[in-house]
């Protein structure tokens, strides 16, 4: 079997980390032996890899600019002799690609998960230079591909779009049931500036009819967001659920999903909600438009409190139309975001790259 090592920051419950876990767990069935290296910490997803007999190595960050980490990765790659190293997220992406190049790994692959508008000159320059060491860049959406080419100068020939996949077997359909008398809204995502929970809370403060909101996720802004909810007199109507592993069940029990992000590379949480047929209000972001049509959900501009309040009112005032919209979108979402499709496309790319590198892999 062909040996593939994934390098990522951690195994916390976030979109990029979940993608790594799914790939590492499912690629052995395609003829690839997999292992995962984390360079910052472990996390709640680690047990899933253990259950699938996927090895996990922790190489904690150390040394000036992570030089000791690069050396440790180099030694690991020389010992394990992988045919492919596949890196994710900036620090792991940087250290992993450098170490793999030094260790003469035949194929180096990098996945870009976001459009990263907060990246400065150093981040952009680093990614641009490391592109010369990279055999292929995977973009999780067409928007990410365009950003890689436009901002970082990555050759279009090196970029392959592979949409993130979701485990359709874990999706719990919401069905066509009507909204509750007090509608239950839900949002899922890190409590981080990118996700812009503040806009959602401010919009909800303008909604005078009854509602309740469940917030799933953890992050650095939790205290600030709780304080904002208190100032807006919303605290009694909000449940802060933290990190949860029963998100499919929570989605199915909800009446509407809110996704107020300012930017996304893909929008995994929103796609999972759409696959379950949950009526959706989501920021008007290009990656979501690659999967959902304009009449599949309501798409207010990100950061626009008034527009968000109007979209929420429209959803709550006409729940029948909202449910019909959501259920109409389910088949196309399932087809576009199939986990099996994502894994097979990765396997196909790996085989192509190995062939170019002068190796043969069969299945």
Distance of CA 158 to the CA centre of its chain: 21
Going by pLDDT thresholds of 50, 70 and 90, the confidence category of residue 213 is very high
CATH superfamily entry for domain 168-336: Glycogen Phosphorylase B; (3.40.50.2000)
Averaged pLDDT score across all residues of the chain:
93
Alpha-carbon torsion, ordered 166, 171, 177, 183, to 10 deg? -70
36 close to 352: Cβ distance less than 8 angstroms: no
The H or E element containing residue 304 is none
User: Cβ–Cβ contacts within 10 Å for residue 121, how many?
Assistant: 7
pLDDT at position 95 is 95
Q: Average pLDDT, stretch 342-354? A: 96
Q: Is the pLDDT of residue 359 over 80?
A: no
Q: Is the pLDDT of residue 103 over 90?
A: yes
User: What is the domain partition of the chain in residue ranges?
Assistant: 2-165+338-356, 168-336
Check for a shared fold between 2-165+338-356 and 168-336: yes
User: Cβ–Cβ contacts within 10 Å for residue 175, how many?
Assistant: 11
Q: Average pLDDT, stretch 103-116? A: 94
d(CA 254, CA 302) in angstroms, rounded, equals 22
Q: Is the pLDDT of residue 94 over 90?
A: yes
Q: Is the pLDDT of residue 119 over 60?
A: yes
pLDDT in tens, 62-88: 776 889 999 999 999 999 999 999 999
d(CA 25, CA 33) in angstroms, rounded, equals 10
22 close to 165: Cβ distance less than 8 angstroms: yes
pTM metric for this prediction: 0.88
Q: Which CATH number fits domain 2-165+338-356: 3.40.50.670, 3.40.1280.10, 3.40.50.2000, 3.40.50.720?
A: 3.40.50.2000
pLDDT in tens, 25-54: 999 999 999 999 999 887 778 888 888 789
């Amino acid at each position: 079997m062909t040996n593939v090592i994934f390098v990522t920051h951690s195994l916390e419950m976030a979109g990029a980390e979940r993608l790594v876990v799914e790939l590492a767990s499912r690629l052995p069935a395609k003829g690839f032996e997999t292992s995962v290296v984390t360079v910052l910490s472990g996390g709640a997803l680690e047990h899933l890899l253990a259950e699938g007999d996927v090895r996990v190595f922790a190489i904690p960050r150390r040394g000036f600019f992570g030089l000791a980490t690069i050396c440790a990765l180099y030694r690991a790659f020389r010992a394990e002799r992988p045919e492919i190293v596949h890196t994710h997220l900036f620090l792991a992406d940087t250290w992993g690609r450098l170490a793999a190049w030094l260790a003469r790994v035949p194929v180096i692959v990098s996945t870009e998960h976001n459009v990263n508008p907060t990246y400065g000159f150093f981040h952009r320059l680093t990614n641009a230079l490391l592109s010369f060491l990279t055999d292929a860049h995977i973009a999780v959406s067409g928007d990410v591909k365009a950003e890689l080419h436009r901002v970082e100068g990555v050759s279009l020939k090196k970029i392959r779009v592979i949409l993130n996949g979701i485990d359709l077997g874990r999706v719990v359909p919401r069905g066509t049931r009507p909204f509750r008398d007090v509608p239950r809204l839900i949002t899922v995502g890190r409590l981080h500036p990118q996700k812009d929970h503040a806009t959602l809370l401010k919009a909800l403060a303008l909604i005078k009819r009854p509602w309740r909101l469940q917030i799933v996720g953890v992050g650095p802004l939790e205290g600030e967001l709780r304080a904002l909810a208190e100032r807006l007199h919303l605290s009694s109507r909000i449940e802060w659920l933290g990190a949860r592993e029963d998100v499919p069940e929570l989605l199915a029990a909800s009446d509407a999903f809110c996704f107020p992000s300012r930017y996304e590379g893909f929008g995994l949480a929103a796609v999972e909600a759409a696959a379950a047929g949950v009526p959706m209000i989501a920021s008007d972001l290009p990656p979501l438009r690659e999967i959902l049509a304009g009449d599949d959900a309501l798409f207010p501009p990100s950061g626009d409190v008034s527009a968000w309040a109007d979209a929420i009112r429209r959803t709550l005032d006409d729940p029948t139309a909202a449910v019909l919209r959501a259920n109409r979108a389910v088949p196309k979402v399932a087809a576009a975001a199939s986990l099996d499709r994502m894994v097979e496309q990765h396997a196909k790319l790996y085989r192509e790259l190995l062939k170019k590198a002068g190796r043969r892999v069969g299945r």
